[in-house]
């Protein structure tokens, strides 16, 4: 009979938790069974023929003995309690050859349902299948309450083809908290790691991963969307879920409570979409989600993943689109996260000149590595498919595109051609756009990109990056710089309001007034406006009206719609009590009316990305700080004349050329009394006469209230 005893070195490796191939020595083989159960007093093998004790082969918990038949159970005496369970090491390999092949070549588009923890049934037994990419680890174990957090109990099987470790743990189910214990290539024990592909994480500061019934979270039915969003009204309300509104005790709202309050508010305000700052699990709330570690898990303090999925569904039921901020550029250095995950620079670059962001003290994803690209690609698809989000707004794209981003001249490495462009990131973003277009048709990608990089919204097959829209950061900075000036000096900054039209149609733009403009000492939007309180509100009304009528889709961060005085604080609710005061309520009402006008009037949205939709009428009146332009819609729809007076001086009889004579209706006036204004204007109607002006045969003399924006349309329209 063959000798089945283990070599002493193998025994030592097992009991010391150093053995890299436990399935080769544990479990059933050659009519015997061997188990490692540290802390067990005794073990019996239970079959249909009865129970038989195993002999202790090592005092650290190694037991072995004859196996009469299969299947079998292990009856374990833990010293006061007895457990009957299947032997982990009796189960076969789990991942199929196709999964391993796709993982190996970095093209597995369902990585979130392949790697991670997934309840399933194997050979009639319910349990959880774990899989983890860690190709350089010497040993990987699943640890949790279910095994006393002892890495010797459940070391995993390495599937060498893909560098993936796997194991099936019977009788485990949803709700179990777990982590991974790894030995690095030198055999040193690493800090316990959270699961990069977990669908749920513990509430910080706890750092464990939680098993979720992933099969029960089925992708929702795709939402019908109008084609060509560049021709549709697109008005976005940007929200930080933890501080939009809080409970009476300053507690954060759950996903369900947020849905109860946020959805009717946003739809009532007339926005078409809500955009959430990153909802992906993150260890530090002060990062607002922009330093995530859970690329597949909604942030735990708000509730379980199925509740977030329901929030998205409720938004859709109310006709509201959902955009999620998503961060594929970098990740935090927390030891339980992705940093040196298997003891090597696995997800990040090894060289800090490529792999470390000094601005944010974060690590940069190595997008030249196919498995890392696959991980992020899978995350993007996960949020769009599993949760039904309508778009991803990709954060910090500029930092991805340039190797010298925010680096001294001697602290970056050129690309293979000697240039500063990050070719790997460019390729990743192009591939991402192709995958989303094929896998998730109708879903959008929006870039937060602050440079003049060409072709951000050009199709990837045409040499662009493939985004659907790009945040126009230049417009935001230029116009805010203008509005912050005292009106007496605005004549010298006139180009701040007009320069955006020089490049307005080089990309498909979204005009953002985002969270970045109301933090870090920048104050609030209303706080940026000059003058006394009345002038501050008038300035902000005129500015937001200029923005809503300007070419480009719209985005406004929460609180801006009612002029919150205080700078945004992520640990506090917005100051909703301000709506008891008339100026704040008036501004909110104006935003509601602007959204309605924007949606209902094709001239204000249908040709946002087409130069045929815009014409300057008054471009160079810097002495009076007056701007006027026409917006056009599809043929057969009426144009709109927009006039802004950015001084507190009322202009009487200000003559403006018009494309047609006759009656024109004043359909919007930011100085209206119901908005908190002085109620000056043109009485709702004006009549153009045959007096040439600004290249037109007809013109009209308008009263332009101080610090106001007006919108007029032909009366017959």
Q: CA 374, CA 391: separation in Å to the nearest integer?
A: 19
The sign one gets for the Cα dihedral 508, 513, 515, 516 is positive
**Per the structure block, which two tokens stand in for 290?**
């922009």
- Report DSSP state, residue 605: T
Instruction: Give me the residue label for tokens 């009106």.
Output: 487
Q: Is the peptide bond before 71 cis (omega within 30 degrees of 0)?
A: yes
Determine how many CB atoms are found less than 10 A away from the CB of residue 177.
17
Distance, CA of 63 to CA of 77 (rounded, Å): 12
Whether 448 is catalytic? yes
Active site residue 600: no
Assigned token pair, 166:
């796997």
- DSSP code per residue over 59-121: TTTEEEEE--SSS-EEEEE-SS-EEEE--GGGS---S-HHHHHHHHHT--TTHHHHSEEEEEE
Find the catalytic residue in 87, 166, 230, 448: 448
**Residue 53, both tokens:** 């004790």
Which entry of 64, 166, 395, 468 is annotated as an active-site residue? Answer: 395
Residue 362 to residue 364: CA distance in whole angstroms: 7
Contact 130, 117 (CB under 8 A): yes
Please state the length of the chain.
717
The answer to whether 167 touches 127, Cβ cutoff 8 Å, is: no
- Order of strands, sheet of 362-364, starting from the edge strand that comes earlier in the sequence: 330-331, 362-364, 356-357
Q: Encoding tokens for residue 405? A: 């981003």
Q: Which residue has the tokens 């544990």?
A: 26
Who's near 523: CB < 8 A, 6+ residues apart? 567
Q: What residues are annotated to the active site?
A: 395, 448
């Amino acid at each position: 009979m063959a000798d089945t005893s283990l070599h002493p070195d193998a025994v030592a490796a097992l009991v010391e938790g150093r053995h890299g191939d436990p399935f080769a020595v544990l479990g059933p083989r050659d009519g015997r069974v061997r188990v490692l159960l540290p802390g067990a007093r005794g073990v019996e093998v239970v079959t249909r023929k009865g129970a038989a004790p195993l002999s202790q082969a090592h005092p650290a918990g190694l037991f072995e003995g004859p196996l009469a038949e299969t299947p079998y159970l292990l009856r374990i005496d833990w010293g006061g309690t007895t457990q009957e369970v299947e032997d982990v090491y009796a189960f076969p390999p789990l991942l199929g050859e196709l999964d391993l092949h796709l993982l190996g070549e970095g093209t597995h588009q369902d990585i979130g349902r392949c790697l991670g923890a997934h309840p399933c049934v194997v050979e009639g037994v319910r349990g959880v299948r774990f899989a983890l990419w860690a190709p350089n680890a010497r040993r990987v174990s699943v640890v949790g309450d279910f095994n006393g957090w002892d890495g010797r109990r459940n070391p995993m099987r390495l599937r060498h083809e893909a560098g993936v470790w796997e194991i099936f743990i019977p009788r485990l189910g949803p709700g179990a908290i777990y982590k991974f214990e790894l030995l690095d290539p030198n055999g040193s024990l690493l800090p316990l790691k959270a699961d990069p592909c977990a669908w749920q994480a513990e509430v910080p500061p706890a750092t464990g991963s939680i098993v979720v019934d992933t099969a029960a979270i089925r992708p929702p039915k795709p939402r019908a969307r109008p084609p060509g969003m560049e021709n549709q009204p697109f008005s976005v309300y940007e929200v930080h879920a933890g501080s939009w509104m809080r409970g009476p005790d300053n507690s954060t709202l759950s996903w369900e409570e947020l849905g109860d309050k946020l959805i009717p508010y946003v739809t009532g305000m007339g926005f078409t979409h809500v955009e959430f700052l990153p909802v992906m699990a993150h260890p530090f709330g002060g990062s607002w989600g922009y330093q995530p570690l859970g690329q597949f898990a909604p942030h735990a303090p708000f509730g379980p993943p199925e509740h977030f999925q329901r929030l998205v569904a409720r938004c859709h039921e109310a006709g509201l689109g959902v955009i999620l901020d998503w961060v594929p550029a970098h990740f935090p250095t927390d030891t339980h996260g992705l940093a040196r995950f298997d003891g090597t620079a696995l997800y990040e670059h090894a060289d800090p000149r490529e792999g470390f962001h000094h601005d944010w003290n974060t690590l940069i994803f190595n997008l030249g590595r196919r498995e890392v690209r696959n991980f992020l690609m899978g995350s993007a698809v996960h949020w769009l498919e599993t949760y039904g989000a309508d778009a991803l707004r990709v954060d910090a794209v500029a930092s991805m595109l340039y190797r010298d981003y925010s680096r001294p001249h001697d602290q970056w490495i050129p690309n293979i051609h000697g240039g500063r462009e990050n070719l790997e990131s460019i390729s990743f973003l192009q591939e991402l756009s192709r995958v989303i277009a094929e896998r998730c048709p109708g879903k959008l990608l929006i870039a937060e990109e602050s440079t003049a990089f060409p072709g951000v919204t050009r199709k990837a097959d045409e040499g662009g990056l493939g985004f659907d829209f790009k945040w126009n950061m230049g417009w935001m900075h230029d116009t805010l710089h203008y509005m912050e000036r005292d009106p007496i000096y605005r004549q010298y900054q006139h180009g701040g309001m007009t320069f955006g039209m020089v490049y307005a149609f080089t990309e498909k733009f979204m005009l953002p007034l985002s969270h970045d403009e109301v933090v870090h000492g920048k104050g609030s939007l209303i706080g940026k406006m000059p003058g006394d309180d009345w002038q501050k509100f008038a300035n902000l009304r005129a500015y937001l009206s200029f923005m809503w009528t300007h070419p480009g889709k719209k985005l406004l961060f929460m609180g801006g719609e009612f002029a919150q005085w205080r700078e945004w604080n992520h640990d506090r609710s917005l100051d909703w009590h301000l709506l008891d005061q008339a100026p704040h309520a008036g501004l909110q009402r104006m935003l509601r009316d602007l959204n309605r006008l924007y949606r209902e009037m094709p001239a204000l949205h249908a040709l946002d990305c087409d130069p045929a939709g815009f014409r300057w009428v008054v471009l160079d009146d810097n002495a009076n700080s007056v701007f006027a332009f026409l917006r056009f819609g599809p043929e057969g729809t009426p144009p709109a004349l927009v006039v802004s007076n950015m001084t507190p001086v009322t202009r009487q009889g200000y003559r403006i050329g018009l494309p047609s004579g006759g009656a024109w209706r004043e359909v919007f006036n930011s100085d209206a009394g119901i908005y908190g204004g002085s109620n000056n204007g043109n009485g709702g109607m004006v009549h153009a006469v045959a007096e040439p002006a600004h290249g037109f045969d007809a013109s009209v003399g308008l009263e332009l209230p101080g610090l106001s924006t007006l919108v007029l349309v032909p009366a017959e329209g």
